[in-house]
């Protein structure tokens, strides 16, 4: 804060930020596979819950 008030700012480009921005295809593939697995699990749970609920509704006729 005192540097800001005194006007002594040391502004320079960070080299590690530039290197971190280049994501590889493996990173994207890992996130895509993870997302698809999460979606498949969600569909499985919803369908299973729906199937269990429907069997309870019918009574002895």
pTM check: above 0.75: no
d(CA 42, CA 12): 46
pLDDT in tens, 2-49: 656 667 767 776 666 555 567 889 999 999 999 999 999 999 999 988
For the chain, what is the total number of helices (H) and then of strands (E)? 3, 0
**Residues 37, 45: Cα–Cα separation, whole Å:** 12
């Amino acid at each position: 804060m005192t540097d800001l008030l005194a006007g002594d700012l040391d502004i320079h480009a960070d080299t590690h930020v530039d290197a971190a921005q280049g994501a590889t295809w493996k990173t994207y593939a890992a996130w895509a596979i993870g997302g698809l697995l999460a979606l498949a699990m969600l569909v499985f749970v919803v369908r299973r819950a729906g199937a269990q609920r429907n069997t309870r509704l019918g009574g002895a006729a």
